[in-house]
């Protein structure tokens, strides 16, 4: 059996701070606050900042994984782009450094965050159809939902960046785990859950976990690619190696 290559990443306070500040800039930019991937209802400021922070922490953890395991440096996109999307429509990596050369990634990768106890990898069906990523990487992020104190939300609303800097909590470490990936053509074949359909524990079919709020493609996390040879193939394509 192929050995699984899963990496736990200890994200620093600096990483956390960068992610939170990015999420706050998105809020300032007036991007749509509707949570179309779950409820379609407008998110409050706390949930909006937390969800975007977790997403960015997942990207930072993956960049860490690339550097530590594969010796590849990668640049993330922290720019707030014009238009309704919270980020650019391309992959999450702007550049990669392979063998000392900075290049555009050979494939577009979407890094997906998920809860630390998640049993399913899910891709919103609308997102899958409209954003043509080549591969999807899943990262579990252990960030407490109540990580931000209430006073910071007033500072965000008032646009007081100096006050915001002082109020960002001093979390020493945020644990994240890069758990695997899937190619787009594999996700294409995944089971589809309809809106309102119940999702059960893949290890205990009688135990209901939740009901989906939108249509999703899904696979038990255990089914993700995670062997060393799987990752080598992804890294080869990321670095533009033919037939990787």
Tens-place pLDDT, residues 223-243: 999 999 999 999 999 998 765
User: Does residue 76 surpass a pLDDT of 90?
Assistant: yes
For residue 51, the model assigns a pLDDT of: 87
For residue 36, the model assigns a pLDDT of: 42
Q: CB within 8 A of 195, min separation 6: which ones?
A: 212, 213, 214, 215
Query: Strands across the sheet with 135-141, in order?
Result: 7-12, 173-183, 135-141, 109-114
| pLDDT tens track for 19-45 | 988 888 887 776 554 454 444 455 566
230: in domain: yes
184: in domain: yes
Count of beta carbons in the 10 Å neighbourhood of residue 140: 20
Q: Structural domain of residue 178, as residue ranges?
A: 7-238
2: in domain: no
138: in domain: yes
For residue 38, the model assigns a pLDDT of: 46
For residue 173, the model assigns a pLDDT of: 81
Domains of the chain: total: 1
Beta bridge partners of 110: 136
244: in domain: no
214: in domain: yes
Mean pLDDT of the 54-82 span: 92
Percentage above 90 pLDDT, the chain: 58
Structure tokens at 118: 């998640």
Confidence of residue 80 (pLDDT cuts 50, 70, 90): confident
24: in domain: yes
For residue 1, the model assigns a pLDDT of: 46
For residue 126, the model assigns a pLDDT of: 92
Alpha helices in the chain (DSSP H): 13-28, 45-70, 125-130, 150-158, 161-167, 184-188, 228-238
Contact criterion met (CB below 8 Å) for 36 and 214 = yes
For residue 86, the model assigns a pLDDT of: 54
203: in domain: yes
């Amino acid at each position: 059996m192929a050995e699984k290559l899963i990496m736990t990443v200890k994200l620093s306070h600096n990483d956390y701070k960068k992610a939170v500040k990015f999420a706050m800039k998105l809020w300032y930019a007036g991007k749509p606050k509707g949570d179309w991937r779950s409820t379609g209802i407008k998110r409050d400021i706390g949930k909006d900042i937390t969800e975007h922070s977790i997403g960015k922490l997942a990207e930072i953890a993956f960049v860490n994984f690339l550097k530590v395991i594969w010796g590849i440096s990668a640049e993330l996109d922290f720019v707030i782009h014009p238009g309704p999307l919270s980020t650019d429509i391309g992959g999450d990596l702007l550049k990669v450094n392979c063998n000392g050369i900075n290049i555009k990634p050979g494939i577009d990768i979407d890094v997906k965050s998920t809860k630390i106890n998640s049993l399913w990898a899910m891709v919103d069906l609308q997102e899958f159809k409209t954003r043509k990523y080549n591969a999807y990487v899943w990262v579990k992020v252990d960030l407490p939902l109540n990580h931000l104190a209430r006073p910071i939300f007033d500072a965000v609303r008032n646009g007081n960046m100096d006050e915001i800097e002082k109020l960002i909590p001093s979390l020493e470490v945020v644990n994240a785990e890069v758990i695997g990936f899937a190619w787009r053509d594999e996700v294409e074949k995944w089971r589809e859950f309809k809106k309102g359909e119940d999702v059960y524990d893949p290890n205990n079919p009688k135990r209901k976990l939740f009901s989906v709020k939108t249509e999703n493609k899904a696979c038990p996390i255990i089914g993700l690619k995670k062997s060393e040879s799987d990752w080598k193939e992804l890294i080869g394509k990321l670095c533009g190696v033919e037939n990787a």
